[in-house]
Structure 1
Amino acid sequence: MPKKRSGGGLTTTQQAAKFLGVAALSGAVLAGIALPAAGALGLAAKGTVEGFDEIPSNLKTPPLSQRTTILDSEGGAIATVYSRDRTVVPLKDISPYMQAAIIAIEDSRFYEHGAIDLKGILRAMNRNVQTGGTAQGASTLTQQYVKNVFVEEAGDDQEKVAQATEQTIGRKVRELKYAIQVEEELGKKKILENYLNITFFGQQAYGVEAASQRYFSKRAKDLEVGEAALLAGIVQSPTRYDPVNDTEEATKRRNIVLTRMAATKAISQAEAEKAIAAPIKLKVSKPKNGCITAVSGSGFFCDYVRKTILTDPAFGKTEEERTKLWNLGGLTIRTTLDPRAQKATNEAATAKVSKADKFAASVVQVQPGSGKILAMGQSRPYGLDQKQNETVLNLGVSNKMGGSTYGFQVGSTFKPFTAAAALEKGISPAQTFSSGWKLSVPESSYRTCDGAPAGNQNWDLQNELESEVGTWDMTSALGKSINTYFALLEQKAGLCETLTMAKNVGYERGDGKEILERPAATLGSVDSTPLSMASAYATFANRGTYCTPVAIESIKDPQGKKLPVPKTSCSRAMSEKTADTINQMLKGVVEDGTGTRAGLSDRDNAGKTGTTNDRKDAWFVGYTPNLSTAVWVGDDVGEKSSMYNVTIGGQYYAKVCGGCLPGPIWRIAMTGALNASETPSFNPIAVPRGKEKEDKDEEGDGDGDRDRGGDRGGDGDREDNKPGRGDRTPGIQLPPGLIGGGGDGGQEGGGRSGP
């Protein structure tokens, strides 16, 4: 019988069994452990561990969470994102010193024992009995690897992490059984490789490659003996032995590792002494994680890519599947972002609007024909520090994709959709309408798509200036942005047809809800986003074919396998003739209409201004045959302030208009993004004109598009009467009553509209 120790009152067998966390192990279990002299402890004695055989025999090793790299269209890195900073590398790319160091300090008999180390158990047990505590453990690298697998699988679920590390019989028995399996299936070299890739080394670094980069800014394969010993020493207690925060403790621990390496003949005594005498020399690389670190001002675009993966069914049927894919990482995501366009967009967004201004600017660029989002920029930088005027609210996109609650009313930039619907119905561009400054139209004369009257009252609206009285055809009405004309044109073309055309070109509300069938829609009463507007106008540039916007070109998993990504879907929204006609008419807007300050002199270009009621939103949306850009300027913090007598970007404006602020911003963005050698032209077409009486812009601001047209409906198409702003933090609901009036913004209810 084994002797009792005087201090503990337990037999050696019981002490060993207690160390293992089990009452006894069967001979069948020990046979799989490959331990010499197992019988010496009597562990093959009576009894089995209850439930041992019920533990699943296969350890399901989850893929390791790694860094994801987001690239622009040319392959340049935009950002690195991860839930765990890790780069998996093969054993051949890990310094031999590192391999030797981790074995020396954690499991010096690694190549001699099976899944558990009996001699190590005896040594640790004796030491612990002598000290009366638990000074030493005896888990092998294999057992530690198994535990780390459970921790990795738990992810950020703290309850599961606790279960994976709890000091219970069940956990240790489960760990032991899987260790046996791992030893049999993987072999020593693969176990060592896996261990070095999964282990936490502190400072947010998982795996030896990330740790080597973090502490020494070098590859793991280039680690020298002292550096390897330092990293190996961290593993036991990443906080205590953190060399960044406690050099003294880290040095002591490193020297212990070096001494062990010499004792195990991994290095010579002379090498150990030389390394011990050398001070720790760190070259720390601070972790850069997330879209907040994105280069070239591409944080908003980066976040849009993240949102795409988290919301698009192409990346998983459920939200849980998509989140798991994103958190697992290890992806290489090549995006549609064009570096030149992004640079131009950033410059344009900040050229005339400062980050500290009360008002903000958003610029989005889309490629006609492909749907590729080329750039997203804002006057406020991407970030979390509101004191520095940073924001993570993407003013360019819908609420679902990280934007404001509703988006922003688009004003007269909606009018080309009405014109396109009219042309598709066979109405000639020469169609003229005569009106005074004001107009009152029965709502019942407009029909919804189910044939019902659009209302039972009169819709009262007016033009921007009292002088805007006369007769206009479609071309001049677009150029001067005549509200009364488009109210009558929508009546003739059909409310349903107008809204259907808007949907066909990709016009969407910022909150994702259906567009209310109200007559004031033609004056831009419905909230939308710069991305939606840039994509919609790209339809005109693409001669009538709409292509859904996309931000991702390709994705590769950690093994280099391509994953399916959402592709653009193109559909014909109007005939080529209709699109060509719209292009010619909108050329007039930038040549001699409300958008002259936006026009490009070296190529065909077209666009439309828009300014909502009380000048609360100002737009310019325009395009060339190969680039579509939308610019919005307004209040992004929820106050819905008017832009009268304001200073923006250091310049005073008596009244902001779509042509005088968003227009010049658009010009800067387009000029910088376009290649001077590529100047495609619109398809030439003769646009018939009608007999008209010209109106005059008496105020001389070159922008008569502010839609003073409302619909007696309070907050217009907002059936829930909520304001359409977000705060600088997505999802914040603002108090009602901050928004009123109608306008080029077409807020249905103010009875006014303008540039």
Structure 2
Amino acid sequence: MPKKRSGGGLSPTQQAAKFLGVSVLAGAVLAGIALPAVGALGLAAKGSVESFDALPANLKTPPLSQRTSILDAEGGTIATVYSRDRTVVPLKEISPYMQKAIVAIEDSRFYEHGAVDLKGVLRALNKNARSGEVSEGASTLTQQYVKNVFVEEAGDDPTKVAQATQQTIGRKIRELKLAIQVEEELGKKKILENYLNITFFGQQAYGVEAASQRYFSKSAKDLNVQEAALLAGIVQSPSRYDPVNDEAEATKRRNVVLERMAQVGDISQAEADKAQAAPLGLKVSRPKNGCITAVKGAGFFCDYVREVFLSDPVFGKTKEDRAKIWNQGGLTIRTTLDPQAQESAQQSIKDHVYTSDDVATAATIVEPGTGKIVAMGQSRPYGVDIKQGETTLNLSVNNDMGGGAGYQPGSTFKPIVAAAALEGGMPATKSYSSPYEMEYPSPVAACGGKNWVNNEGAKLANENETEVGPYDMKEATALSVNTYYVQLISDIGICPVTQMADKMGVERANGNKLEQTPSIALGVTEVSPLTMASAYAAFASRGMYCTPIAIESITQRIGNKSKSLEVPKSTCSRAMSETTADTINTLLRGVVEDGTGTQAGLDSRDSAGKTGTTDERYAAWFVGYTPNLAGAVWVGDPKHERKMVNITIGGVPHDKVFGGAVPGPIWRDMMSGALEGKPADDFNLVDIPDAADKDKGRDRDNGRGNDGGGRDDGGNGDDAGGLIGGLIDGGTGNGGNDGGWGNFIQGQGNGGNGPGGRRD
């Protein structure tokens, strides 16, 4: 940087005179006449010097806004976002042709005059005096740079931008005062560097590096003479001389710049003629800004990262402070997104649910023990074109993070009730009568010493009339028996359940508190997939709940320097004992082995999970996990209007949708790909004794007798396989009058058809 010059005790007006090469008296005349402030500011000629000296002379230069890169966990680019697309480069990385072209066309005497070009001022003065207004400017590059600083400081505030660019005498005087300061402190080369990095070149490109990439797909250091002349010509009017939209007008302007470069001796006339005859040679790179450009379907995750930044106090005390940093940009954000898991999740979604389907799906995967979000996707693409099925509503997250009001999780909430019961000392062998239908027990203890009372005689029922107890916890969980879990929560009370939910990070998507009602056991409270995936991750990590995180690290580039920013950390706490978690893992392992979630089972590794289907089938879920990863899949209508009955999803017709039949396979395929090549760890299982055979002479291991053993395909049995086979997951019960044995797990058999149903 050039050595700083001293004013030698001179006032700003005397400095102005010095730079202009005129006397102090001429400086006073400049303040009062050449910058005609007498009428506009009420400055008498006598007081012009004092008033000019009283203006502040400190130019607070804001850091130039730059593009932000959002990266996955391996450093690959997910998306590029920016308020203003800019990459700051030093003068040595800007083509000499570019430096000469901008000076030639904008301020050919730049290296000869001071902050103000007196000749230009006097020329403009005559015209302005005749017109009675500022109709012609005489701004030097230094003054233009100062004005651009005002614009940059205004950001996206239209009022501030208007104030920064309005043609008033007051602004021109302030601009002059600050231009003198800039010349004094920076010197010509630094001013030129700053100017080329701050100015707007059209097509969303701020600064010469972004402009060079936009129009020619090359770095600014590689610009040739005609390319440099084109960019220099754009500055005067980016819309009028836009080469993308008006090549002819841009060519004329480029040639004017080339001619001017020849006139001032920067190039020869022969060089100018040759360059003028050349085509524009555009190689346009379209602006790629925002989460809409995200790869591998990660637009919603990208949007979630933005929401985290704007909402977390670690990035600033107020939302305005955080927004200022975000818009300033220059950030490199390394996220937790695992490209393998993300690609697998999005591919599974694409395979099972079409964008054009009446319903949508959303899926999220988190890492147990760390809270890292490794995948987030949905079937409705990220964007604003509603006709194309696009949306910016993130179906995986809570309302305050860009999501909706959430969705009832159905029976996926039951393991939380089981965890609360086990943590309170209830044995996993606990048995309840679990009738097909019953009234909600009353009263039931709630938080704060209050009781929930069934004043209305509300009733609940199991999915099918054949679901009649007694059941123990293992069986009731595998078969998702509603009346068992309502009896369980009525026994232990509602408060332990909501407290356990709180420890596991389960909160309503709309921000309201969980309701103090026993029906919470059946999943009536709206939640998000991210919430459920994070909650189940606590089971996988043997009782440790970790708050979800999306950001690993952030560095911010300001000018040519970088610094690290503090980022939110996951907070891990014990939600339940290891024994309780191990017991839940054993229970939910049974769900995927021989319960309602067999279609979600993974062939080569331990897995556990729970199905969920809401009343009227507005939503269906599968939430499951391995020791490595936990994931939640939701399928339904975001508007809560389309029941999933007689519906085609992903090209497959369904009479009725169940958690095991649609979300389950999505989860299976998603997790299989995400876990490929990863260690196949095992759960720490506990021994849960099977309940003794109860009434009706049924053998639940083999599905013999009146249960008929129906699973997906029903089973054989005297009048039973055909009557109630296939209740689980809505399979068709095949059986008949030829008797025989039904296999409960495999559900093999043949004969007549029986009704389907659900148990989740």
Shorter-chain TM-score bucket reads: 0.7 to 0.9
How far does the alpha carbon of each residue in 1:641-678 deviate from its partner, in whole angstroms, 9 at most, with x for none? 22111111111111100011100111010011102351
Q: Which residue of 1 aligns with 2:704?
A: none
Please say if residues 613 and 754 of structure 1, whose CA atoms lie closer than 8 Å, have aligned partners that are also in contact. Answer: no
Could you tell me which residue of structure 2 aligns to residue 501 of structure 1? Answer: 500
Equivalent residue number for residue 515 of structure 1: 514
1:247-270: CA deviations, max 9, x gaps?
Answer: 222112111111221222222222
What letter matches 1:634 in structure 2? G
Secondary structure of the residue that 2:452 maps to in structure 1?
A: coil
1:438 — aligned with what? 437
Which residue of the partner structure matches residue 192 of structure 1? 192
CA deviations on 1:187-208 (whole Å, 9 max, x unpaired) are 1111111100110111111110
Shifted more, 534-543 versus 458-467: the winner is 458-467
User: 1: CA distance between counterparts of 2:603 and 2:623?
Assistant: 17
What residue in structure 2 maps to residue 591 of structure 1? 593
Q: Do the aligned residues in 2 keep the contact of 1:480 with 1:703 (CA within 8 Å)?
A: no
Q: 2:133, 2:226 → 1: CA distance?
A: 31
Deviation at 1:44, TM superposition (A): 3.6
Q: Judging changes above 3 Å, is the alpha-carbon distance between structure 1 residues 371 and 687 closer, same or farther for their aligned structure 2 residues?
A: same
Q: 1:455 offset after TM fit, Å?
A: 2.2
Is 2:32 aligned against 1:35? no
- In structure 2, runs of 5+ residues without a counterpart are 1-9, 30-44, 695-699, 701-706, 711-723, 732-756
How far does the alpha carbon of each residue in 1:253-292 deviate from its partner, in whole angstroms, 9 at most, with x for none?
A: 1111112212222222222221112121111111011111
Which aligned pairs between 1:644-663 and structure 2 lie closer than 5 A? 644-663=645-664
> After superposition, what is the alpha-carbon deviation per residue over 1:426-474, rounded to whole angstroms, capped at 9, x for unaligned?
1111111123211223331x11111111124244211111001121111
Measured at CA, do residues 38 and 689 of structure 1 come closer, stay the same or move farther in structure 2, by a change above 3 Å?
Answer: same
CA–CA separation in structure 2 for the residues paired with 1:651 and 1:37: 84
- 2-structure distance, mates of 1:239, 1:134: 22
Alignment of 1:382-393 (within 5 A): 382-393=382-393
SS of the aligned residue for 1:255 comes to helix
Mapped pair 1:410 → 2:409 = yes
* Structure 1 residue aligned with 2:215: 215
State the Cα deviation string for residues 341-380 of structure 1 (Å, max 9, x = none): 1111111112111111111111111111110001111111
- The question of 1:567 aligning with 2:551 is answered no
| Cα offset, 1:591, TM superposition | 0.4
Amino acid at match of 1:700: G
- Code of the aligned partner of 2:228: A
Q: Distance in 2 between matches of 1:328 and 1:60?
A: 15
> Does structure 2 retain, via aligned residues, the 8 Å contact 1:117–1:138?
yes
Instruction: Report the counterpart of residue 447 of structure 1 in structure 2.
Output: 445
Q: What residue is the counterpart of 2:726 in the other structure? A: 700
Q: How far did residue 129 of structure 1 move?
A: 8.7
Aligned partner of 2:467 in structure 1 is 468
- State the one-letter code of the partner of 1:674: L
TM-score (norm 1): 0.87
Query: Gaps (5+ residues) in structure 1?
Result: 1-25, 706-751
Contact 2:656 2:730 in 1 (8 A): no
Once the two structures are overlaid, the 10-residue window that deviates more, 222-231 or 308-317, is: 308-317
Partner Cα separation in structure 2 for residue 180 and residue 282 of structure 1: 38
For residues 499-537 of structure 1, the C-alpha deviation after alignment (integer angstroms, 9 at most, x for no partner) is 111111111111011101101001111110100000000
Distance 1:190 1:239 in 2: 28
Residue identity matched to 1:684 = L
Give the 3-state SS of the residue equivalent to 2:308 in structure 1: helix
CA distance in 1, matches of 2:573, 2:258: 68
Instruction: Please tell me whether the aligned partners of residues 479 and 759 of structure 2 are also in contact (alpha carbons under 8 angstroms).
Output: no
2:631 alignment partner, SS class: strand
Q: Which amino acid aligns with 1:455?
A: V
- Inter-partner Cα distance in structure 2 for 1:115 and 1:98: 21
SS for the counterpart of 1:560 is: strand
| Distance across 2 between alignment mates of 1:566 and 1:28 | 48
The whole-number CA distance in structure 2 between the counterparts of 1:264 and 1:127 is 25
* Aligned equivalent of 2:318: 318
Q: Identify if the C-alpha distance between structure 1 residues 442 and 104 changes in structure 2 by more than 3 Å, giving closer, same or farther.
A: same
Q: Residue 612 of structure 1 corresponds to which residue in structure 2?
A: 614
Q: Contact between 1:598 and 1:664, CA under 8 Å: does it hold in 2?
A: yes
SS of the aligned residue for 2:439 comes to: strand
- Kindly indicate whether the alpha-carbon contact (under 8 Å) linking 2:13 and 2:53 is maintained by their aligned counterparts in 1: no
Deviation at 1:150, TM superposition (A): 0.5
Q: Tell me the distance in 1 between the aligned counterparts of 2:250 and 2:498.
A: 68
Aligned position for 2:35: none
- Give 1:709's aligned residue: none
CA contact (8 A) 2:363 2:632 kept: yes
| Cα pair distance change 1:685/1:435, threshold 3 Å | closer
Q: Is 1:667 the counterpart of 2:693 in the alignment?
A: no
Q: Give the alignment of 1:414-433 within 5 angstroms.
A: 414-433=413-432
Letter aligned with residue 626 of structure 2: T
Residue 246 of structure 1 and its aligned partner are, at CA, apart by 1.6
Equivalence for 1:396: 396
Is the contact made by 2:13 and 2:27 (CA closer than 8 Å) also made in structure 1? no
- Which of 624, 628, 631 is the equivalent residue of 1:629? 631
Q: Secondary structure at the match of 1:561?
A: strand
Cα distance in 2 for partners of 1:502, 1:131 equals: 74
Residues 1:581 and 2:583 aligned together: yes
Structure 2 distance, partners of 1:172, 1:435, is: 84
Query: Which residue of the partner structure matches residue 82 of structure 2?
Result: 82
- Once the two structures are superposed, what CA deviation does each residue of 1:720-752 show, in whole Å capped at 9, x if it has no partner? xxxxxxxxxxxxxxxxxxxxxxxxxxxxxxxx9
Aligned equivalents of 1:491, 1:83: Cα separation in 2 = 54
Which residue of structure 1 lines up, in the alignment, with residue 536 of structure 2? 537
1:319-358 Cα distance to aligned partner (Å, 9 max, x none): 1111111111111111111111111111111211111111
Q: Contact between 1:594 and 1:659, CA under 8 Å: does it hold in 2?
A: yes
Deviation at 1:492, TM superposition (A): 2.2
Distance 1:523 1:753, change over 3 A: farther
Q: CA deviation at 1:418?
A: 0.8
- Alpha-carbon distance, 1:48 to partner: 3.8
- Answer yes or no: is the 8 Å Cα contact 1:33–1:115 preserved in 2: no
Are 1:201 and 1:235, in contact at CA under 8 Å, matched by a contact in 2?
Answer: yes
* 1:479 aligned residue: 478
Change beyond 3 A, Cα 1:97–1:580? same
Segment of structure 1 superposing worse, 45-54 or 360-369:
45-54
| Deviations 1:531-584, CA, capped at 9 Å, x for gaps | 000000000000000000000111111132110111100000000111011111
Contact in 2 for aligned 1:35/1:118 (Cα 8 Å): no
* Distance in 1, Cα, partners of 2:672 & 2:598: 15
Q: State how far apart, in whole Å, the 2-side matches of 1:578 and 1:360 are.
A: 34
Percent identity reads 62
Shift of 1:303: 0.5
Structure 1 Cα separation of the partners of residues 679 and 659 of structure 2: 27
Letter in 2 for 1:530: P
1:174 aligns with 2:174: yes
- Partner letter of residue 607 of structure 2? N
Aligned-residue offset at 1:488: 1.3
Greater Cα shift, 256-265 or 294-303 = 256-265
The one-letter code of the counterpart of 2:202 is G
Aligned residues: 681
Where does residue 753 of structure 2 map in the other structure?
Answer: none
Q: 1:500 to 1:36 in 2, by over 3 A?
A: closer
1:143 partner SS: helix
Indicate conservation of the 8 Å contact 2:16/2:27, yes or no: no
Report if the CA contact (8 A) 2:17-2:26 is conserved. Answer: no
Letter in structure 2 aligned against 1:183: E
> How far apart, CA to CA, are the structure 2 residues paired with 1:109 and 1:355?
60
Letter in 2 for 1:98: M
Distance 1:129 1:440 in 2: 91
The Cα of 1:115 is off from its aligned counterpart by 0.8
CA distance in 2 between partners of 1:246 and 1:133 (Å)? 32
C-alpha distance in 1 between matches for 2:189 and 2:51: 31
Distance 1:507 1:316 in 2: 27
Partner of 2:741: none
SS of equivalent to 1:652: strand
Secondary structure of the residue that 2:519 maps to in structure 1? helix
Q: Paired residue for 1:340?
A: 340
Equivalent position of 2:165 in the other structure: 165
- Sort the Cα spacing of 1:133 and 1:423 in 2 relative to 1 into closer, same or farther, 3 A: closer
SS at match of 1:296: coil
What's the counterpart of residue 745 of structure 1? none
